Chain A
Amino acid sequence: MKPTARLSSLLATALLLVAPALPAAAQDAPDLPDADELIAQYVEAIGGRDAHADPASIRTSGTMSIPGMGLEGEFELIQIPDVGSRMNSSLPGLGEIMAGFDGEVGWSLNPMAGPQLMEGVELEHMHERSLLAATLRDPEVVLERETVEEVEVDGQPCYRVRLVWASGRQSFDCYSTETGRLVRSEDVQVSEMGEVPTVTDFSDYREFHGMMLPTRMVQRTMGMEQVLEITSVAVDDADADDLAPPAPIRTLLEG
């Protein structure tokens, strides 16, 4: 071996061993993607438009808990796209809590306030949320959309998108940079009591009848955390009659 060859191997060996200690080059922050693209990716990521438009009804069942208070119960949600929805839940100690919208009448029934009809903005929002177009973030109900930043939700990077709805309310979605799925929604629940900011985290997506649905939803409202976990999803087994309000509400409607 020539001395120069030996010297080359000497230097190469030294540099090879030094290399792992060199710092990685810094990466530039990526540009924010267009909100329309994110929403299109989101729709694909949850199974596509057709998968959500096909079912005549969706019946979702699962558990509901408020860990901070040690409450755990069950819920059932019936959705008839573009018509309405009804949710029944029960929590030990709190009793039956129900709320629904049959396309015209929005109502709630719970032990704290009793039977109640919804009016005004609250009813308008309930109607808007029942639309398939709302689930898919279609332009007919989401008039403005804008990607505002990249943030992290539970360590998962996502793009935060501001939405302005036809009803005038504003909300924020956060779409995973990796999967395109919705991982967080920031909304405001409006009722006669006032406006309550609500943050909902979505996770553990699973496929049900072609739809990718989050099976775990953690909702935080005024410092209280509520967890919904879906255990089953059935389609096409409910109709508008299942959205009919309970007797006390019907009595109220009869005047």
Chain B
Amino acid sequence: MDPVTHTLFGGALAAGGLRRTTALATPALIVAANAPDVDVVTLAAGPYTSLALRRGLTHGIPALLVLPFVVAGAFLLWDRWIRLRRRPDAPPARAGPLLGLAALGVWSHPVLDWLNTYGMRWLLPFDGRWSYGDAVFIVDPWLWLLLGGAAFMAYSATRRAHILWGALALALSLPVLLVEGLPRWVRAGWVVGLVGVVLLRRHRGPAPEPAKAARAPRLLLALAALYVVAMVAQTHAAQGVAVQEAEARGLGPVTDVMVGPVPADPLGGQVIVETDEAYWTGDFHWGASPRVAWADAPLPRLDRTDRVIQAAERHPEAVRYLTWARFPFHQVDGDGDGWRVRIRDVRYLGRGTGGLGGIQVQVSPELEPMEAGPIAGAFLRPTTAAASPTIPTADSALYAATFDTVWIRIGDTYYDPDMAGLDWDGLRDELRPRAAQAEDDEALRRVLRDLLARLGDSHFAILPAGSPDPEGVGGGGVGTPGMEVRWVDERALLTRIQEDGPAHRAGLRPGHLLLAMDDTPVEEVLEEFLAGLGGEDDALPPYWTDALLAGWLRGDPGQERTVTVLDEADEARQVTIRLEAPPGETVRFGNLPPIHLEVGDRPLALDDGREVGLISFTAWFPQIVSEVAAAVDRYRESHGIVLDLRGNPGGIGGLVMGIGGHFLDERVELGTMRTRETELRFVVNPQRIGPDGRRVAPFQGPLAILVDRGSGSTSELFAGGMQAVDRARVFGETTAGEVLPAALAQLPNGDRLMYVVADFTAPDGSRLEGRGVAPDESVQPSRAALLREGDPVLARALDWLQSNPNEEPRP
């Protein structure tokens, strides 16, 4: 209860006759009646600490045994040391009665506090359970009237007292008369009550006999007690009625119920019915039929075993809040940087944004609780449309948070602030409910892929948690058979064989068809892989199938593979291959998985005897730079250079500026990367210093670049740029068309999101995304050509170099 009620109760007890038991009886009763509220000092430690501590140690039974001695002792000390020294003729306070009055005052406090919905912990520190009376509102004008009237009878002998009582009556009347929503009869009853008390005081006269003087206060105290008992009884009855009406509405088995008091109206109540799935709230009134007017929409109870909610509830401030919360109501929003979890108590919805009003905890993407504090923004009750009575599934919070993470991350980082002309907010309104109501992870992925597909770019993907890594299928080691297999026309075609590698030594040649490995047919492996991805084969980039086959063939060096191929005579041939570590080195670059890098070069002779250099490297990382520079230097005086980027998936985009500088003598732009914030031009830096430190000129002879559909990202950027500035002729297949810089993000449900962060345009302004680099001379892999020429792509490049002997170098 509020301090006014406690104070008036102490005064009323004194007025009822206890003031005559000893000197200092009245102040002792008043102070004792308020003493347990000394825990108000916990507010200094913050609202949530205060919630966790208040109505506890100073209100529980152990404290009730100690506080009376403290209060009585303090008054005795004051009496002996101060009061009696000032007034030696005054009667001394008696210890026994003083202790009794202190005990009565102190014990009255938790009883009154228990009456409302805030709760009481009687047995702290032994048992922290809360107990609720739910009978009287924390500020009750009828108790003010009855208890204040009782005190007024006894302490209104002077004009000054009348003025002070008048001021108090006026102060207490303001909320009763002015607060909106109170019934008229309440206001009228309050005024009538005040007048009645005054008339009773006038009727009693100015100075009655002591025995008579206590009659009116006792009468009012008895009415107050009767009122409290009646409120407790009606609350108990109202709870039964609310449960009956809830079950009649089919709200489900009721696990808890509260019909709490409302201000000033003893016939009304605040209903909270708890089921396993939701909180149903409503207004109760004995004068209404039906008694409960239910709110349109329930407040869904989210699964508190959800990882996000559990993370939020680990925050110390949330722990403190939940120590007090009785009907905790969670709302979870996801953003690019984690989740915002708001926790309120249904009893106090709309009562501010901090303390009683609730707590907000930010949860990191790593599911760690971060900041906690008052809730940002007021509570808005869900409408019927927004909060379906359909109870959310256990995963709905997680699924909604997963959707939010995807939607926000892309909305924040997509290079086009206009979101490709889409109504991005509208998409959220359309798809988020579907995500939240998804039946399982796969249904959620369909919604998310729908969202991604609206943008129409590559490099957007939802990678299921635990889905197979295409390169991790099989042994997963670094051992390789020394052959490249491509999925062409529904067949596994051997396209390149490493010179003197295991497959070459086993007699395998380009153009052979791979049928099986270790008795497992190729088709079976592909089917299993697609099944692992949920059958979303349409979402697979073409080179994934090639990567899958490469991963399947790998294993530990020394491991043997039995490979069945269809050879050039169309005969099935089975050979055993011992895997070997590939040439090159495995390097680390930050937290990326180990990367195998191989830089190779060899001289080739044209038919007319002129030399050209063939340079290849497997990925664009800084470790290749010096070797590529050395290789270019070796062929600096050759007729031409062939740069083989087949199967090179890309890497660090910035490397094109340095590698390109080996072939261009001017600061030429190879393309532009555009993010939402800025544009970065990839400007070539001509390399005029040789590996040995001497000054050189960039290579100026003809340059052929070999690509295939496995050439991605930086390889496309480079090939497309060099082609666009007319510095190179490109041979092979159209590249992957996946040039957009992308990043990966972990999603709340364990899946991963691959998302685009920038756009890329070639020097001529064209986009390579989605279409790739179209070769100047297209050479499609075919079994016949491979069997005939071994490497038809290289053969076409050499033909070009042979037929363009005098082509002038171009900047």
CA distance A183 to B171 in the complex (A): 50
Q: Is B623 touching A93 in the complex (CB atoms < 8 A)?
A: yes
Q: Is A95 an interface residue (CB 8 A)?
A: yes
Q: Is B771 an interface residue (CB 8 A)?
A: no
Q: Is B3 touching A13 in the complex (CB atoms < 8 A)?
A: yes
By Cβ-Cβ distance, the 5 closest A-B pairs, closest first, are: A70-B591, A17-B3, A69-B590, A70-B590, A111-B622
CB distance from A178 to the nearest CB of B (A): 20
Q: Is A93 touching B683 in the complex (CB atoms < 8 A)?
A: no
**Chain A interface residues (CB < 8 Å from chain B):** 1-4, 6-11, 13-14, 16-18, 20, 66, 69-71, 92-95, 111-116, 192-197, 222-223, 247-248, 251-252, 254-255
Chain B residues within an 8 Å CB radius of A94:
589, 622
| Residue from B6, B157, B657 whose CB has the most chain A CB atoms within 10 Å | B657
Closest to B38 in A: A17
Q: Is B625 touching A111 in the complex (CB atoms < 8 A)?
A: yes
Chain B residues within an 8 Å CB radius of A195:
678
CA distance A192 to B679 in the complex (A): 11
Q: Is A222 touching B675 in the complex (CB atoms < 8 A)?
A: yes
Q: Is B590 touching A3 in the complex (CB atoms < 8 A)?
A: no
Q: Is B455 an interface residue (CB 8 A)?
A: no
Chain A residues within an 8 Å CB radius of B658:
111-114
Q: Is A1 touching B683 in the complex (CB atoms < 8 A)?
A: no
Please classify how large the interface on chain B is, using the bins under 10, 10 to 19, 20 to 34, 35 or more.
35 or more
**Which chain B residues (612-668) contact chain A, with CB distance < 8 Å?**
621-623, 625-626, 652, 654-655, 657-658, 661, 667
CA distance A93 to B651 in the complex (A): 13
Q: Is B588 an interface residue (CB 8 A)?
A: yes
Q: Is A193 touching B661 in the complex (CB atoms < 8 A)?
A: no
**Which chain B residues (1-46) contact chain A, with CB distance < 8 Å?**
2-4, 6-8, 10-11, 24, 26-27, 30-31, 34, 37, 40, 43
- Given the known interface contacts A1-B26, A66-B590, the answer about A93 and B622 at a Cβ–Cβ threshold of 8 Å is yes
- Given the known interface contacts A4-B160, A252-B688, the answer about A192 and B667 at a Cβ–Cβ threshold of 8 Å is yes
Q: Is A6 touching B160 in the complex (CB atoms < 8 A)?
A: no
**Chain B interface residues (CB < 8 Å from chain A):** 2-4, 6-8, 10-11, 24, 26-27, 30-31, 34, 37, 40, 43, 151, 154-158, 160-161, 164-165, 168, 413, 587-592, 621-623, 625-626, 652, 654-655, 657-658, 661, 667, 675, 677-683, 685, 687-689, 693-695, 757
Question: Mind listing 10 A-B residue pairs with CB under 8 Å?
Answer: A4-B161, A10-B151, A11-B164, A11-B168, A13-B34, A20-B40, A71-B589, A95-B622, A194-B680, A251-B693
Q: Is B7 touching A14 in the complex (CB atoms < 8 A)?
A: yes
Chain B residues within an 8 Å CB radius of A18:
2-4
Q: Is A14 touching B164 in the complex (CB atoms < 8 A)?
A: no
CA distance A241 to B94 in the complex (A): 94
Chain A residues within an 8 Å CB radius of B165:
7
CA distance A203 to B197 in the complex (A): 67
- Given the known interface contacts A66-B590, A222-B677, A248-B689, the answer about A113 and B661 at a Cβ–Cβ threshold of 8 Å is yes
Q: Is B678 touching A251 in the complex (CB atoms < 8 A)?
A: no
CA distance A6 to B31 in the complex (A): 12
Q: Is A254 touching B695 in the complex (CB atoms < 8 A)?
A: yes
Q: Is A7 touching B655 in the complex (CB atoms < 8 A)?
A: no
Closest to B657 in A: A113
CB distance from A80 to the nearest CB of B (A): 26
- Given the known interface contacts A4-B160, A71-B590, A248-B693, the answer about A14 and B4 at a Cβ–Cβ threshold of 8 Å is yes
Q: Is A69 touching B591 in the complex (CB atoms < 8 A)?
A: yes
Q: Which of A9, A69, A111, A116 contacts B30 (CB 8 A)?
A: A9
CB distance from A33 to the nearest CB of B (A): 28
Chain A residues within an 8 Å CB radius of B40:
17, 20
Q: Is B30 touching A192 in the complex (CB atoms < 8 A)?
A: no
CB distance from B93 to the nearest CB of A (A): 11
CA distance A193 to B667 in the complex (A): 11
CA distance A7 to B6 in the complex (A): 14
Closest to A117 in B: B685
CB distance from B22 to the nearest CB of A (A): 12
- Given the known interface contacts A17-B37, A95-B622, A111-B622, the answer about A6 and B689 at a Cβ–Cβ threshold of 8 Å is no
CB distance from B585 to the nearest CB of A (A): 12
Chain A residues within an 8 Å CB radius of B661:
113-114
Chain A residues within an 8 Å CB radius of B621:
93
CA distance A251 to B34 in the complex (A): 88
Closest to B682 in A: A193
Q: Is A9 touching B27 in the complex (CB atoms < 8 A)?
A: yes
Closest to A16 in B: B3
Q: Which of A112, A197, A254 contacts B678 (CB 8 A)?
A: A197
CA distance A194 to B687 in the complex (A): 21
Closest to A188 in B: B678
Chain B residues within an 8 Å CB radius of A92:
588
CA distance A14 to B155 in the complex (A): 16
| Residue from A2, A11, A114 whose CB has the most chain B CB atoms within 10 Å | A114
Q: Is B685 touching A113 in the complex (CB atoms < 8 A)?
A: yes
Q: Is A251 touching B164 in the complex (CB atoms < 8 A)?
A: no
Chain A residues within an 8 Å CB radius of B37:
17
Q: Is B685 touching A193 in the complex (CB atoms < 8 A)?
A: no
Closest to B168 in A: A11
| Residue from A1, A10, A18 whose CB has the most chain B CB atoms within 10 Å | A10
Chain B residues within an 8 Å CB radius of A14:
3-4, 7
